[in-house]
Amino acid sequence: MTPTARDAAIQTIQRELTAFARRARGRAAELHPELSLVAASILDLVIDRDGCLASGLAEHFLLDKSTVSRQVAALERDGYLTREVDPANRRNHILRATAAGKKVARAAERARGRAFTERFRDWDDRDIARLAEYLVRYNAPDDS
C-alpha cells in the first residue's frame, strides 16, 4: 500500500469510527431510554468486575473523574448503583450494581444484541468474524 493510499484508508477508518460512535450514542437512547451509552457502559463494567472504584471506571474508559462522578451519581439516584465502604481503604467506596441495575443492564444488553444481529443479518459469517478480530485488535491496550 502506498503512503497516500494508507493515509486515505486511515482517514476513512477515522470517519467511519466517528460515524459509528455517533450512531451508537443515538441508538443507545432508542434501544434503552433509561440508560445513556456512557451510563450503560459504566453499569456493565461495574457488573463485570463485581464492583469497582470510580477511579477504576475513569481509568478504564479514559474519562475525566468529574464525568464519571456525574454518571455514577445519576445511576445511584436511579437506584442502579450503590456505594460500599472499601474495607481495604475506608476513604474509598466500592460501586456495586443493585438488583434493579442488573435487571436494566440485562435488558439493555438484550436490546443491543437484537440490534446488532439485525444490522449484520446480511453479512457473511467470515466478514463478521474478521470485523470482530479487527475490533479486538484495535481496542487492545497500547503496549507503550
Mean pLDDT, rounded, for 43-63: 95
Mean pLDDT, rounded, for 116-142: 94
Report residue 104 as a C-alpha cell.
436494566
State phi, psi for 95 to the nearest 5 degrees: -90, 135
Report strand pairing: 89-97 vs 81-86. Answer: antiparallel
**Which amino acid, residue 74?**
A
Tell if the pTM clears 0.85, that is, is over it: no
**Which amino acid, residue 84?**
E
| pLDDT tens digits for range 57-106 | 999 998 999 999 999 999 999 999 999 999 999 999 999 999 999 999 99
| pLDDT tens digits for range 19-29 | 998 888 878 77
Quickly state the pLDDT bin for 144 (edges 50, 70, 90): low
Q: Give me the percent of the chain exceeding a pLDDT of 70.
A: 99
Look at residue 85 and give its three-state secondary structure.
Answer: strand
Q: Give me the percent of the chain exceeding a pLDDT of 90.
A: 76
Report residue 107 as a C-alpha cell.
435488558
Whether the predicted pLDDT of 44 surpasses 60: yes
Higher pLDDT, 65 or 33: 65
Q: How far apart are CA 27 and CA 50, in angstroms?
A: 27
Report residue 129 as a C-alpha cell.
468474524
The angle, 0 to 180 degrees and rounded to 10, between the axes of the packed helices 65-77 and 54-61 is: 120
